[in-house]
Amino acid sequence: MPEIIAPTTDYLRPEIVSKLGNFELVAKFVVEGFITGLHKSPYHGFSVEFAEHRPYLPGDPIRNIDWKLFARTDRYYVKQYEEETNLKAHIIVDSSRSMNYSSDPKLITKYRYATIVAASLAYLLTRQQDAVGLALFDEEVRTFMPARLKASYMREMLKVLQLTEPSNKTKTQSSLRLVLERIKRRGLVIVISDFLDDPDEIITSLKLMRNAGHEVIAFQILDPIERTLALSASDATIFDVETGESIKTQPYQMQESYKQAFEEFLNNLNHSLAAERIDHLVLETTTPFDRALTEYFYKRQMMG
């Protein structure tokens, strides 16, 4: 897939967006910035018009006609309801303790980044008249909200994202399997995680979703230092935030081998998921949010 990125504005920079408190405001801020970027872009392959009505068709109940819109346009339109939506999407967010990491006070945590991506996608899906649901997991499923199309329901999801604190260990395979059992209709599944778990279990769980007929996007959220181990200290103690285990080391002695091993892990994961027709995108917590929304638009177009 060619890389196409909408022009970046302040609306899309994590360090700017993360200062906003209300998550509905965050979602609007990011989505409006993204759409503005698309309008300025030379690329015209995306539809960014969000129709909330459709033309009246013979057989539609007359009570569904929007008479106020008729008065303005002299045309008959009906409001779309949930059963008429184009898509049911579920956004699944890793809320385990490892997601609460940030290597620098100036950077946001992986969980904060993941929740902003999730909030923006939920807002965008709702604007497109697509039903959206939410699940949060760590070593179990902490929250499951089935896909619905209501502005008030979307706000409740954003509230859950904002108030949830990362905790516990990660059990990707068992948790995602439980989420999959609760999704009743085929659609789009978006999984947002650092995927710092057993690679085989990650692949198996996402493959199960694909085999169940869902289109799947896997957003892997990483802190920049997790890819490089570029610590400035000559001596460091590295902690596993989920198990509490620690190791004392001199980072410069292992940087190259660590970086090579981690990139190999990412490449193997990417190739394995691509073989299953699962889109996989690595996003660092410094990456503007348009990368995630652009990936979503690609998948949405392929499905349509």
CATH number at residue 173: 3.40.50.410
* Least confident range of 56-70, 137-151, 226-240: 226-240
* Least confident range of 172-186, 215-229, 290-304: 290-304
Distances (CA, A) of 76 to 53, 59, 130, 163: 10, 13, 22, 42
Please check the confidence at residue 81 and state whether its pLDDT lies above 80: no
194, 94 in Cβ contact below 8 A?
yes
CA geometry: angle 165, 169, 173, nearest 5 deg: 110
Identify the band that residue 44 occupies on the pLDDT scale cut at 50, 70 and 90: very low
Q: What is the mean pLDDT of residues 266-283?
A: 95
Please check the confidence at residue 160 and state whether its pLDDT lies above 90: yes
Quote the mean pLDDT of the chain: 82
Q: Is residue 2 part of a domain?
A: no
Count the domains in the chain: 2
Regarding whether 131 and 203 lie in a shared domain, the answer is yes
Regarding whether 242 and 275 lie in a shared domain, the answer is yes
Q: What is the mean pLDDT of residues 126-135?
A: 90
Q: Is residue 5 part of a domain?
A: no
pLDDT in tens, 206-265: 999 999 999 999 999 999 999 887 665 555 555 555 566 656 656 666 777 888 899 999
Q: Is residue 1 part of a domain?
A: no
Q: What is the pLDDT of residue 74?
A: 78
Q: Is residue 270 part of a domain?
A: yes
Domain that holds residue 76: 50-80
Q: What is the mean pLDDT of residues 132-152?
A: 94
Identify the band that residue 292 occupies on the pLDDT scale cut at 50, 70 and 90: confident
Per cent of the chain over pLDDT 70 is 77
Please check the confidence at residue 303 and state whether its pLDDT lies above 90: no
Query: Who has greater pLDDT, 260 or 44?
Result: 260
Regarding whether 93 and 76 lie in a shared domain, the answer is no
Please check the confidence at residue 51 and state whether its pLDDT lies above 60: no
Contacts of 212 (CB under 8 A, 6+ apart): 180, 183, 186
Q: What is the pLDDT of residue 223?
A: 95
Regarding whether 76 and 201 lie in a shared domain, the answer is no
Identify the band that residue 26 occupies on the pLDDT scale cut at 50, 70 and 90: confident
Q: What is the pLDDT of residue 249?
A: 59
Q: What is the mean pLDDT of residues 96-125?
A: 93
Q: What is the pTM of this model?
A: 0.79
The dihedral over CA atoms of 11, 52, 125, 9, expressed in degrees to the nearest 10, equals -10
* Least confident range of 86-95, 167-176, 227-236: 227-236
Q: Is residue 178 part of a domain?
A: yes
Regarding whether 144 and 65 lie in a shared domain, the answer is no
Regarding whether 76 and 214 lie in a shared domain, the answer is no
Regarding whether 294 and 168 lie in a shared domain, the answer is yes
Regarding whether 75 and 217 lie in a shared domain, the answer is no
Identify the band that residue 118 occupies on the pLDDT scale cut at 50, 70 and 90: very high
* Least confident range of 31-35, 61-65, 159-163: 61-65
Contacts of 90 (CB under 8 A, 6+ apart): 132, 133, 134, 135, 147, 179, 183, 187, 188, 189, 190
Nearest by Cα to 289 from 88, 119, 135: 119
Most confident of 16-20, 60-64, 230-234, 265-269: 265-269
